[in-house]
Amino acid sequence: MKAALLLTGLLAPWAVSAALSALLRGSPRLAGRLTAAAGALSLGAAAAIWFVVLGGEVLVAGPGDLFRADALSALVAGCIAAVSGLAMLPWAGIGKDQADRDRARVFRIFGSLFTLAMLVAVTINNVALMWVAIEATTIVSAILIPLHRSKASVEASWKYILIGSVGIALAFAGTVLAYFDFVSLLGRRHDALNWTLLMDVAPTLHPDVLRLAFVFLLVGYGTKAGLAPMHTWLPDAHSEAPAPLSAMMSGVLLAVAQYAIIRWKAVVDAAGGPAFTNQVLMALGLLSIGIGALSLVRQQNYKRLLAYSSVEHSGLICLGLTFGPAGVFASLLHLLNHALAKSMSFLLAGRVLARYSSAEVDRVSGLVRTMPATGPLFAAGMLALMGLPPFGLFLSEFLLFRAGFTSGHPVATSAAMLLAGVGFVGLAGHLARMLHGPGPDGVAAGERDWWMLAPLAVSVVAMIALGLLLPDTVARLLGRIAEAMSI
Amino acid sequence: MQGVFSQVAVMGSSGMLLCAMIVLWRRGVAAYISAFMWQSVVLGALTAAVGYFGNDPQLYVVAVLLFGIKAVAIPKLLRRVSQRFTAGRESAPYVNTATSLVVSGLLVLLAYAAARPLEAVADAPTRAGMPLAMGLLFISLFIIISRKLAITQVIGFLMLENAIALLAVLATYGVPLIVELGVFLDALMGFLVMQIFLYDIHGTFSTTDVDVLERLKH
């Protein structure tokens, strides 16, 4: 009963929000408020789930135990509810003209559906239905990329839906192969694809077949997670999408794909040991860190900078998974920190873009003077993404590298540290140019809509709290996941 | 009975593979659409046959859905799209026809190698078709990366979905019905959004040759 209530509280508000946004065409202000309220409700449920799961309970609800939330679900669902709740606030404003209002409405409808699909993906028990939900995220988010239609956004949305759909189709092939292995041993059962049952029987499955399945799954979900070399759609889509959508895609959609990889890694590891999955994850992780970091140096567009930084951080998360329980702990902490820092940075980048009318680093200068509140917050987000103290990403990167050395991977860890250093230098140089100097002519100084920045200031406080003290509620949850993952 | 079942599975899979090769061989989009339609017809028939021999009436439902969506509705929509855009020819693919056909042969060989662990595990009479399904999967991927028209890429993607459906029906006599329905929903929605984007690309760039999509680099 409690489980059903909490999971309904998590998911239902977004379904209602999508439906009401579609129906309330005539009253955009009311629809905007309702969406914000839905976000708050969902976030509240996510927090409650977090605390229940912390006690060691696993929430199961629905016909045939359709929904299930354990510590890992609670972590990712918490990130999704927080980031989407933030991104679905009326960032675009209610809008002055009808076209603006229509765009805001479309964004509320599909943004709510997008959030719903992500939340379903991380709370559903059946791995094939998880795939259905993740594929749905591609479709609904692709609709939103060309919200402001231009040649660049049409191109970005095409690449996104084609590469994303092809990638995710391969993940389904991997799911079918794993199901095939299950069926060949235990016969056809309707609950065969339930994650819990799959984990129970994993030690008896054929490692050979599961390894082949894992290759497909990793290529598939890795495409969605922005892992190199399947990342090519990511910089385009994340930079051309409207800022709040970029915040959701970069902040939490990547985390949802990582979630799927983590789930499957546990199954494959239980069948044949972690050596194989660790090898391929390490290779893709290092490649992503490298490509992300090197692109940061030569990139001239600040939204693309943020996108390539996502490739780098996605690679770090992937790498950390191969460093034993301490590495899994660090990796998931990194996922949480990255969700906070990246969503905030993209939302602020949207404000900067609106003021300067250009996404080129060279066209933006004197940000601190022109936008006295947005500027420093943006700087805080970027410094956090560089991995500087006192922000959470510093702590998680430190823990990740330490886990790498103690688990006996000095070469891979050193390489990752070196590449992360390159990324640091790249971002720092661009940031310095944007912040200082005189503002360009024709760009008004001063800050509008101060209240919009309040939630982002809360994000900064949360990032610092995660960096300085690592709250016990977070540490215990991550500890629980790391424990469950180490077999 | 088992022998007939096995032969039906291999013949159906080979037929689907052949339909994919038509895309590599011909240049006209109209031929691609027909190839996809016939591939879907074979897939639907094969699914029904597996339902009959394997004694699983649920597969009849899947076969009807497959036929309705992939052999009737989607080809119809594709034809409408291609008639709207006048340039319905793949005039200069990234990889020429002769090389493409050689590559597709190699991909089938690769598929036989990759599918070895599967055949070792399988005991269903349909197992001989599984490497062919894997081959179809690889060839569909090759179509997507080696062809230039956006509509050809969509057809390649649809064939990739067919390949996975074939793999599922041969390996496990289909995934559970609830999953199957979810997959159909996604496939249909995904195709409809891709179709909208085809019109968007044509409206914005006045062509659907993806060579023009190169504003965003690095």
Quote the pLDDT of residue A89: 86
| DSSP structure string for A228-250 | TTS-THHHHHHHHS-HHHHHHII
- Yes or no: say if A102 and A126 are a contact pair by the CB < 8 Å rule: no
Q: Is A186 on the interface with B (CB under 8 A)?
A: no
**So what's the pLDDT on residue A107?**
92
Mean pLDDT by groups of 10 residues along chain B of 218 residues: 88 96 91 96 96 91 94 94 77 86 94 89 86 96 92 94 94 88 90 91 83 69
Write the pLDDT tens digit of every residue in A287-333.
999 999 999 998 889 999 999 999 999 999 999 999 999 999 999 99
Q: How many CB pairs under 8 A join A and B?
A: 137
Residue A362 pLDDT grade (very low, low, confident, very high; cuts 50, 70, 90) = confident
Query: Which tokens hold the place of A35?
Result: 């969406």
CA separation (Å) from B4 to A170, A420, B1, B45, B68?
31, 60, 5, 15, 27
Check residue A487 and give its pLDDT: 60
Which H or E element spans position A45?
A: helix A28-54
Residues of A in Cβ contact (< 8 Å) with B218:
235, 295, 298-299, 304
Closest CA to A343 of A80, A17, A10: A80
**Mean pLDDT for the stretch of residues A109-125:** 96
Q: Do B171 and A158 touch (CB under 8 A)?
A: no
Mutation to test the B interface, candidates A131, A145, A148, A154, most B Cβ within 10 Å: A154
State which residue of chain B sits closest to A182, comparing Cα positions: B172
Cα-Cα-Cα-Cα dihedral of B145, B204, A223, B97, to 10°? Answer: 0
The alpha carbon of residue A297 and the mean position of all alpha carbons in its chain are separated, in whole angstroms, by: 23
pLDDT tier for residue A284 given thresholds of 50, 70 and 90: very high
Digit-coded pLDDT (tens) for A95-108: 567 778 888 899 99
Cβ-contact A473, A466 below 8 angstroms: no
Q: What is the pLDDT of residue A92?
A: 52
pLDDT at A264 over 70: yes
- B173 chain-A contacts, CB cut-off 8 A: 188
A321 sits in which H/E element: none
- Integer CA distances (angstroms), B127 to A177, A184, B120, in order: 13, 11, 9
pLDDT (mean) for A435-454:
82
Structure confidence at residue A344 (pLDDT)? 94
Task: Say which of A156, A190, A236 has its CB closest to residue B176.
Answer: A190
Question: Which DSSP state fits A252?
Answer: I
Mean pLDDT of A465-478: 93
Phi, psi of B28 (to 5 degrees): -85, 135
User: In the structure encoding, which two tokens stand for residue A364, read together?
Assistant: 């933006």
Q: Is A324 left (phi over 0), alpha (psi -120 to 50) or beta?
A: left
Question: Which residues of chain B from 124 to 153 reach within 8 Å of chain A, CB to CB?
Answer: 137, 141, 144, 150, 153
Q: Are A21 and A35 in contact (CB under 8 A)?
A: yes
Domain locations along chain B: 2-216
Residues from chain B contacting residue A176 (CB–CB below 8 Å): 164, 167-168, 171-172, 175
CA distance A394 to A400: 10
- Residue A94: pLDDT band with limits 50, 70, 90: very low
pLDDT score recorded for residue B215 = 67
Written as six digits, the tokens of B35 are 């190839």
Q: What is the mean pLDDT of residues A333-361?
A: 92
Whether residue B164 contacts residue A176, with contact meaning beta carbons closer than 8 Å, is answered with yes
Tokens in use for A116?
């719903």
CA distance A130 to A134: 6
Q: Quote the percentage of chain A above a pLDDT of 90.
A: 74
Per-residue pLDDT, averaged over A358-383, amounts to 90
Cis peptide before A390 (omega within 30 of 0): yes
* Each residue's pLDDT tens digit, A154-187: 999 999 999 999 999 999 999 999 999 998 888 8
CB–CB of B16/B166 below 8 Å? Answer: yes
- Write out the two tokens for A136: 């749905």
Contact partners, residue A311, CB within 8 Å, separation at least 6: A226, A227, A228, A231, A234, A235, A288, A291, A292, A295
pLDDT at residue number A95: 54
Q: Find residues 209-238 of chain A whose CB sits inside 8 Å of chain B.
A: 209, 211-212, 235-236
Residue of B nearest to A208 (CA): B117
Neighbours of A475 (CB within 10 A): 13
CA of A207: which chain B residue's CA is closest?
Answer: B117
Amino acid letter for position A93: G
Average pLDDT value for chain A: 92
- Beta carbons of A477 and A50 less than 8 angstroms apart: yes
Are A143 and B193 in contact (CB < 8 Å)? yes
Residue owning tokens 């239902």: A12
ipTM of the complex model? 0.94
Average the pLDDT over A211-238 and give the result: 94
B203: closest CA of chain A, how far (Å): 10
pLDDT in tens, A6-46: 999 999 999 999 999 999 888 888 888 999 999 999 999 99
A29 contacts chain B (CB < 8 A)? no
- Predicted local confidence at residue A127, as pLDDT: 93
Restricting to A residues 114-153, those with a Cβ less than 8 Å away from any Cβ of B are 126, 128-129, 132, 135-136, 138-139, 142-143, 146, 149-152
pLDDT band for position A211 (50/70/90)?
very high
